Amino acid sequence: MKMTNKRGKEQLVSLYYLLQTRLTELTKARELLYTQLAEIQKTIESIKGIGEGNEFLIPLGSGVLAFSDSLRKDKFLVEIGSDIFVERTPEEGVKILEKRSEKIKENIKEVEKELIQTQTQMEALVKEIEKLEKV
């Protein structure tokens, strides 16, 4: 009987560590989603804030930026996936970004739901391990 308890405890502890790893992965995924959401919000604000007399920084690559005081303000190139860009008005670009933002918010809710489920499973495992230790 004692051998069975020991084996059962070892299995529960192993499962606990697997869930702990999953919890870490979910936390990182949530952080990434929040970073993407913040970037989209900042881009929307930038598009809405473009006006006359603004100076812009244009990324050239490898950490190099160029100053520019002129910018075509009526059209933007917006990535629609797989490095494919389409020309859109600022309003259309904002709508596309808002849709992306909503999708990311949905993904955040799903990740947070899974985080809660994983934490609940871990708490239940701790209780089971404690019961086996008392036997």
- Phi first, then psi, for residue 131 (nearest 5°) are -60, -45
Is the Cα torsion angle 96, 98, 104, 106 positive or negative in sign? negative
Cα dihedral sign, 77-79-83-87? negative
Q: Which CATH number fits domain 2-89+105-134: 1.10.287.370, 3.40.1380.10, 3.40.50.2020, 3.40.50.1580?
A: 1.10.287.370
Give residue 1's pLDDT.
46
Domain residue extents for the chain: 2-89+105-134
Helix (H) or strand (E) holding 88: strand 84-88
| 12-33 mean pLDDT | 97
Work out the average pLDDT over 34-41.
97
Lowest model confidence (mean pLDDT) among 9-13, 68-72, 79-83: 68-72
- The reported pLDDT for the residue numbered 2 is 55
Distance of alpha carbon 104 from alpha carbon 83, whole angstroms:
19
Over residues 52-71, the pLDDT tens digits come to 667 778 888 888 988 887 77
pLDDT of residue 53: 63
Average pLDDT over residues 95-109: 97
